[in-house]
A and B are shown apart, each in its own frame.
Chain A
Amino acid sequence: AQSVTQLDSQVPVFEEAPVELRCNYSSSVSVYLFWYVQYPNQGLQLLLKYLSGSTLVKGINGFEAEFNKSQTSFHLRKPSVHISDTAEYFCAASLKAAGNKLTFGGGTRVLVKP
């Protein structure tokens, strides 16, 4: 069975500072990896996804993530955050054989301070 671990439950960061959200997955087979963002009382929106190819993936709102197979990681980064980036971020993984069932990490709450 696969699992997804987000190492930080909360990340406070000052406006215009960089942020990195850590995500590790466990799977013995190839996985597809996603990052989602959830604003308060809303559903989740896709930030970016890794399917294959280049290990550096660029997403919306200036976010990017790097797939590292040897470390089984898919960390999310943004070089300069805005107040509007305050939200909860979820890492997720799916297996081809799993019927499109995404496994989510526990989420990381980002609080951007002025």
Chain B
Amino acid sequence: IAGITQAPTSQILAAGRRMTLRCTQDMRHNAMYWYRQDLGLGLRLIHYSNTAGTTGKGEVPDGYSVSRANTDDFPLTLASAVPSQTSVYFCASSDGIGTDTQYFGPGTRLTVL
């Protein structure tokens, strides 16, 4: 593994189902982030974690939850998916908080029907 990996690459999900998007980084970065990207809109921060064991809410956290049990993994869970959660989801990481560059995973394309 080099960098950030995300799984699955894409998924079609029925509304009401529970779904966990996985994100793993091998750079030993302290901070991790989840964004969603929708056509015509900028990336929007869902949740973030400044260090293992801590998480925080971003701009659009409703309907999503995260956990950060260790440095490498930062899963994003949709408890009960709705069609408005159809989007491309990117996980990112940075060495520290503040102005450190964020590095992005390849993304998960999620469709909720």
Do A and B interact with each other, yes or no? no
Q: Give chain B's interface residues, CB within 8 Å of chain A.
A: none
